[in-house]
Amino acid sequence: MTGVAAQLCGDRKTVESLGYRVDDQGIIYRQETDEHGKTVWVPFSKLGARRAVLNDLSPAATFIAYNYNTPVDVQAFEREAKRILEEVEEECGWMYATLHAPEAGVPEVLADRLRACKTADEARQLIGTLGNVGRINYTVWSDVFVCPECTQEVVFWEAAVDKEAGKVHSEFPCPHCGAMLTKRNMERAWVTKYDKAIGQTIRQAKQVPVLINYSVGKKRFEKTPDAFDLALIEKIEELDIPYWFPTDRMPEGEESRRNDDIGLTHVHHFYTKRNLWVLGAISKRVGAKTRLVFQSIAATLCSRLVRYNMGNRGNGPLSGTLYVSSLIAETRPTWVMPGKVRDFAKAFSAPSYSYVETHSTSFLRLKKHDVDYIFTDPPFGGNLMYSELNFLWEAWLKVFTNNKPEAITNKVQGKGLPEYQRLMTECFKEYYRVLKPGRWMTVEFHNSKNSVWNSIQEALQAAGFVIADVRTLDKKQGSFKQVTSAAAVKQDLIISCYKPNQGLEERFKLTAGTEEGVWDFVRAHLRQLPVVVENNGKLEVIAERQAYLLFDRMVAFHVQRGVMVPLSAAEFYAGLAQRFPERDGMYFLPEQVAEYDRRRLKAKEILQLSIFVTDEASAIQWLRQQLSKKPQTYQELHPQFLKEIGGWQKHEKPLELMELLEQNFLRYDGRGPIPPQIVSWMRQSAELRKIIQEELDAGRATEDNQGLHTTRAELLRRAKDRWYVPDPNRAADLEKLRERALLREFEEYKQFTGRRLKVFRLEAVRAGFKKAWQERDYQTIIQVARKIPETVLQEDPKLIMWYDQAVTRMGG
């Protein structure tokens, strides 16, 4: 689909449907609001297909990619598909014949005649002579169990399914003895047979046909299989399939071998005999283009993976698994083929070629700096076992995934999180190599586990990328939302990251480890970030422009390049405020701030980021947000704070609100000038504004950068005991004190002699790791890391960064 999107960049209609305008020269414009609040169209891109290089490890994936991204003569494709369909129907249609409303006794008589046929041709001829015959669309097969009370066979369909209501009961009486049964308390019934294809006797869970859905002309009917239907199935079982079909053993893997215990051990076991026969017949006939239709039918729609949907539309497999249900729908391949042909004919729109490669992204056949932009959606840890799931598909293609470099977590493949991270890092390094400096990569990622998200983040940074934005993607609504802590969201994320331009990397080599290097990085990073993000006339706070995230990115940039970080957080915050203009808690380059100011004047409101309080760091962020909106007293804050901390992580040491306030914020005690932060809040009230003005006008008060010097009791009373966000210099002082307290606490963890720390202060561990790393004391990092639960380590992006570094430096 990346290839399709690249092609569609040249399609005017598609581009316009996304809300852009395209002029006669093909220039693309996007909508913005100007300083007068009027809508203006700003040029930003050019119409034209982009040339894509598509890569995946799986032949199934690149086979699809090739088909969607190569020009097709659609009419020729449809003609060929129709011809194949007719030929196969002619040859194999008899296997799906059923008698429509036969008179009593007729099915039995015809069943006998069928049994007497010796060859497929004889059977086909016999059926060709019958009148009033319907064509089976699908046959429902049901599991068969054994009642533990009376030992008789129980057909699941008969015992557990309420056909009227279309429901399956989880508990039901045995149709023979009435004992109450569940699937769990019954044994399966088995069939043992000789499997000629593999030359072995096999034992499979028994399934029997229980319902036939068929058509006569355009009308659809349903029936219970009669003697003729059963005889037909038996006859086909006796005959040999005259075509090749895949007989591979399912590969090792929890997903791919999940059906071993019901005897579905080889690829051909995933099909009924007649479907296998017909699929073999189609497979033999399809050409380069029509094979895609065949593959999509063979791998899923006509296998035993298709669940019966109780007569509703949409019999189909459960995606992401090879689960075989107790009620399957054996679907006639030639019944579903025309629909697939129509679907593909509509989708084949590629006007030009893309270049498709099948191998690991850790080795690309591209030159350094060849690529303008990368879009990638890597596997998400152990969410989906691609090579196992693709096995049926690939067995028909006769080419399999080389799963060695497959970037997943998988027990059988011996890949845990560290192996996954290593493989991802190798791929990202290769992306880094081929991308032009200063250019971007978009990573789509489904965040199902914090630890996997951290591996991805760590891998990206280890490869040299700088993350500049993380958003959630709502696929249904097609909307994006910024996130402050991706760990808190379990959904699709869009990560934007860039390869720093060569200038920065080269300058950094010279200035690495100096203050100059820090500010050079910050300048380059700020330049890459959007200046304004507008959403329906409202401005969003851009998370990445906040001091704490800038600090994190700066640290990561140094650490990943093996360079000491020359500034403490306190020094960084103070330096940041000295060098860069700040607005709404965000930092800008001097040349960017004018644009922000202009747009801010017009904006209806500033949208605050939503922050989930789960630990000390997020609690501080949350408090900073509250207090910059409005300086507040402890009494005002406390009830709100209690509401926020419901999600406090269990290993994180609980902290009192007072402690958090004292370590990070300032309180006005009623003495000296009222701090500017409180004054500007007071001015928002008409009443207080009036009093302040009166005092200033009468010369009883003065105002300077320390705040408002006044003795007016009313003002002092209203300002007293309010907590506020300190200015950067004072913040730096506080930060120093806090860091000292954190390191004292870390020292305790270092001395701790028990096996595991159960509850601790994450910020203290982070501070301690950072200091140890600076001092090249990797042993301390590793020692303390062993004392904290592994999940905590894996789920914290900062801890894992220091830990990985320490392990690497120790040669681990």
> Nearer Cβ to ligand SAM, position 301 or 328?
301
Q: How far is the CB of 409 from ligand SAM (least distance, A)?
A: 12
Strands 133-146 and 327-331: antiparallel
CA of residue 203 relative to chain centroid, distance: 39
Structure tokens of 230? 């059963």
End-to-end Cα distance, the chain: 39
Closer residue to ligand SAM, CB minimum distance, 221 or 400: 400
Residues facing 141 on adjacent strands: 209, 328
In terms of Cα–Cα distance, which of 662, 656, 651 is closest to 641? Answer: 656
Name the token pair of 307. 């669940």
Q: How far apart are CA 437 and CA 507, in angstroms?
A: 14
Strand partners, 640: none
Shorter beta-carbon distance to ligand SAM: residue 440 or 803: 440
Q: Which residues bind ligand SAM (CB under 6 A)?
A: 1, 55-58, 61, 360-362, 377-379, 386, 405-407, 423, 427
Report, in Å, the least distance between residue 407 CB and ligand SAM: 4
Q: Compute the distance between CA of residue 491 and CA of residue 493 in angstroms, rounded to an integer.
A: 6
Closest separation between CB of residue 401 and ligand SAM, Å?
Answer: 6
Residue with smaller CB distance to ligand SAM, 378 or 464: 378
Q: Which is nearer to ligand SAM, 58 or 592 (CB)?
A: 58
Give yes or no for a contact between 229 and 209, defined as CB atoms under 8 angstroms apart.
Answer: yes
With respect to ligand SAM, which residue has the nearer C-beta, 359 or 718? 359
For residue 659, the tally of other CB atoms under 10 A from its CB is 12
Q: Are 669 and 719 in contact (CB under 8 A)?
A: no
- What would the two tokens of residue 471 be? 């958003």
Is residue 157 within 8 A of residue 126, CB to CB? The reply is no
HSE-CB at 674 with a 13 A cutoff on CA atoms is 26
The pair of three-digit structure tokens given for residue 633, joined into one six-digit string: 């007293």
Number of CB atoms found within 10 A of residue 449's CB: 20
Closer Cβ to ligand SAM, 175 or 405, answer by number: 405
Q: Is there a contact between 140 and 327 (Cβ–Cβ < 8 Å)? A: yes
What is the smallest separation between the CB atom of 408 and ligand SAM, expressed in angstroms? 6
User: Which CB atom, from 66 or from 156, has the smaller least distance to ligand SAM?
Assistant: 66
Pick 4 or 168: Cβ nearer ligand SAM? 4
Q: What is the 3-state secondary structure (H, E, C) of 609-651?
A: CCCCCCCHHHHHHHHHHHHHHCCECHHHHHHHHHHHHHHCCCC
Q: 358: part of which helix (H) or strand (E)?
A: strand 355-358
Structure-token pair, residue 106: 């007729």
Residue among 62 and 618 whose Cβ is closer to ligand SAM: 62
Q: How far from 326 is each of 140, 218, 259, 262, CA to CA, in Å? A: 10, 30, 12, 11
- Name which of 60 and 529 has its Cβ closer to ligand SAM: 60
- Regarding beta strands 605-607 and 586-587, do their DSSP bridges make them parallel or antiparallel, or are they unpaired? unpaired
Smallest CA-to-CA distance from 127 within 240, 331, 274 is with 274
Torsion of CA 99, 101, 105, 109, to 10 degrees: -20
Nearest approach, Cβ of residue 390 and ligand SAM (Å): 7
Of residues 188, 153, 199, the one with CA closest to residue 263: 188
Least CB distance to ligand SAM at residue 51 (A): 18
Contact 193, 200 (CB under 8 A): no
We find the least distance from the C-beta atom of residue 429 to ligand SAM, in angstroms, to be 12
Cβ at position 383, least distance to ligand SAM in Å: 8
Smallest gap from residue 223 Cβ to ligand SAM (A): 40
Cβ at position 445, least distance to ligand SAM in Å: 9
Token pair 């304004």 is at which residue?
A: 532
Full DSSP string of 204-250: EE-EEEEEEEEEETTEEEEE---HHHHHHHHHHHHSPP-S----PBP
Nearer to ligand SAM, 52 or 159 (CB): 52
The two three-digit tokens of residue 608, written as one number: 């605050």
Smallest distance from the beta carbon of 140 to ligand SAM, in angstroms? Answer: 31
Closest to ligand SAM by CB, 61 or 732:
61
Contact 61, 69 (CB under 8 A): no
Given the complex with ligand SAM, which of 256 and 626 has the nearer CB atom?
Answer: 256
Closest CB to ligand SAM among residues 303, 361:
361
User: Closest distance between ligand SAM and the C-beta of residue 276, in Å?
Assistant: 26
